[in-house]
Amino acid sequence: MTKLPTIARATLLSAALAGAALAPLSVAAPTQALAQAASADAAADTAFIQSLGQRLVAVVNGGGSNAEKKAQLQPMLNQDVDIDYIARSCLGRFWRTATPDQQQRYLALFHKVLTNAIDDKLGEYRGVGISVGNAIVQDGKSYVTTIITRPGQPTANVQWVVSHAGGAPKIDDVVIEGVSLSVTQRSDYASYLAHNGNSIDALLNALESKIARQS
């Protein structure tokens, strides 16, 4: 049986906006309004990541056991990360072929796997720092660039993808050095399923076994 891949990857999508040629007067006003709205969204989402980053760093660098830190991080994950959206994205086309029961089981398992993956890495991130840079808005989402630093480690360029699909800002992907968590995990899950008869139940059972081993 193919080994079940882990959820431990993330992303940086380097992006820049090019200037546009001047438009006729009749369309300049709505174009300017859209640009202003996009600028306001980018500023708000940059502030959102700045606040979240400071809270994350405070927990990771603070005292206490990994279990205590995990308990502090869990509310942030639930509030500020669209875990269900990420889970559906990671499953890709197989989400549509899964039964409602399989979908609910998968979402519950994905929450646990993601939380455990973060918990496993907590000890490696003591002394972490985050510097928030610019953001761009594309297709209704903000891409907020940050630089993550750790003692004795190279800096990492990380981009946080922020969506407002549910009203409040939430992270629905993370990109480290150009590699997307959702895209990479979708590829890994698809590979696993391809080696196991495209059986959703096989994937779910493997996720359950993984969680049991980590308990």
Nearest in space to 86 (alpha carbons), one of 202, 165, 158: 165
User: Model confidence at 3, in pLDDT bands (50, 70, 90)?
Assistant: low
Query: Domain 33-214 maps to which CATH number in 3.10.450.710, 3.90.1150.10, 3.20.20.70, 3.30.465.10?
Result: 3.10.450.710
- The more confidently predicted of residues 30 and 54 is 54
Do 53 and 146 form a contact (C-beta atoms < 8 A)? Answer: yes
pLDDT in tens, 55-99: 999 988 888 888 888 889 889 999 999 999 999 999 999 999 999
Q: Return the pLDDT at 70.
A: 85
- pLDDT class for 140, splitting at 50, 70, 90? confident
Q: Where are the domains of the chain?
A: 33-214
For residue 31, the surrounding DSSP H or E stretch is: helix 25-61
